[in-house]
Amino acid sequence: VLELHIRTPYVLIVSDGARAVPAVLQSMMAALDTQTHVVAVPVGPSPLRCVGLRVDLRRWTLRYGAEGGCGAVEGTAALLMRSEDLFNLSYPTESPSDTSIFIQASLRGWKLRVLHRGFPSAPSPLSSPHDVWKAKSSTDSRRRRLMEEFGIKLEVLEDGRQRWYGCNKESQRCFGTVLARTPRYLLQGRWTPPCCLRALRETAKHVVEVLEGSGVRYWLEGGSLLGAVRLRDVIPWDYDVDLGVYRDDVAKCPWLREAQKGPVEDEEGFVWETAAEGGFFRVHYSRSNRLHVDLWPFFPRAGVMTKDTWLGHPQDVEFPERFLLPTVPLPFAGFTAMGPNNPRQFLELKFGPGAVEEPQYPNPAVLRLRREEMTQ
């Protein structure tokens, strides 16, 4: 329907109070070329400043900085575009319009050019502190909506400050039930949202502190051990953290004892429970946000670690107890957790040869990791 309202070959997107100057408009039109699809000029006395912009949809992240040329501008700007370019955008009228256009331009590899000469702006009417606050809070909520629209959960500003839009302790988890070990975001070509990775790290650190405090022997398991060995962190597409525990130590931990009677929330809001699937424990980030750490109880029998319930995952196998005699400290997710000694050998036993060097999605039968994804 936008086409019905705009019949000119160019569109000027401009804030209230700007006064267009024909000569400036002429130079803006002249600056559009085959690569340049957006031209910006300042509105009012302050010059515009170029900021690099990198849109990383896979990681749900926007990064502003010195790198990436001129991807966005700081300051009040008027933007000129060809009308057909505007019509071609998926979100042509989303606001804040400048941020929305910068993001879409960056995704399409369109160049943004800044001209120095701009438009004067009419003096703004005197505004009370309340009006200023109202304007800011409405900009904030529109920005929040825009980020939701584009699936951006984290903005990293030029000075390193971060703006988060994703899940937290009070909200729900960003993704629904995981089917066939393949969370939906993988099917959408994305990795675990950064807010979720952050919550997983925080939950894992908390659980490890509680286990160590109560003398429960534990070790990093499965994909979490793989992440620790590969990159000292949660694998960027993983959706939970897995720990093994000695079954006979479970009773040493008050929260695990409580969890056997039913779900229980600890002082820091983490929820401990026995998993519905049975035979293991699950610690959730919070009552509402079900990001979790799984605890798999194993016991030794004739030198082999075994357990009562098997869920049929390929890596869900018995292993020699010698891998735990002793366990060794491994950097993981910003803290130190214990893992099996000879972790590489342990991982190859569980996942097969080359498991550490050749990253793969949790269920390659559903979705395989493509080589080129690793470098993006």
Question: Which residue, chain included where needed, has tokens 């085959």?
Answer: 34
Of 44 and 222, the one with the shorter C-beta distance to Mg ion is 222
Contacted entry of Mg ion, Zn ion, none for residue 240, CB cut-off 5 to 8 Å set by kind: Mg ion
The shares of helix, strand and coil residues in the chain, as percent rounded to the nearest 5, are 30, 25, 45
**For residues 293 and 309, is the Cβ–Cβ distance under 8 A?**
no
195 binds, among Zn ion, Mg ion, none (CB under 5 to 8 A by kind): Zn ion
Q: What long-range pairs does 266-270 form, CB within 8 A, spacing at least 24?
A: 266/210, 268/206, 269/169, 270/203, 270/206, 270/207
223 binds Mg ion (CB under 5 A): yes
Element (H, E) at 225: helix 222-231
- Per-residue binding string, Mg ion, 174-203, x by CB under 5 A, is ------------------------------
Q: Which two tokens stand for residue 198?
A: 């952050």
Report helix, strand or coil for 280.
coil
Is the CB of residue 160 less than 8 Å from the CB of residue 68?
no
Indicate the DSSP class of residue 274: E
Q: Does 221 bind Mg ion (CB under 5 A)?
A: no
Task: Specify the residue, 72 or 195, whose C-beta has the smaller distance to Zn ion.
Answer: 195
According to DSSP H, which parts of 44-169 are helical? Answer: 83-88, 97-108, 129-150
Number of residues that bind Zn ion (CB under 5 A): 6
- Which of these segments, 5-13, 21-29, 69-77, 159-167, binds Zn ion (CB under 5 A)? 159-167
Q: Is 38 in the site for Zn ion (CB under 5 A)?
A: no
Q: Which residue in the set 85, 242, 273, 321 belongs to the binding site for Mg ion (CB under 5 A)?
A: 242
193 makes contact, choosing from Mg ion, Zn ion, none, with CB < 5 to 8 Å by partner type, with: Zn ion
223 binds, among Zn ion, Mg ion, none (CB under 5 to 8 A by kind): Mg ion
Region 41-60 residues binding Mg ion, contact defined as CB under 5 A: none
Pairing outcome for strands 111-114 and 36-42: parallel
> Residue 242 binds which entry of Mg ion, Zn ion, none, with Cβ cut-offs from 5 to 8 Å by kind?
Mg ion
For Zn ion, the binding residues in 165-224 under the rule CB under 5 A are 166-167, 174, 193, 195-196
Q: Give CA angle at 334 (332, 339), nearest 5°.
A: 20
Binding residues for Zn ion (CB under 5 A): 166-167, 174, 193, 195-196
Contacts with Mg ion by CB under 5 A lie at 223, 240, 242
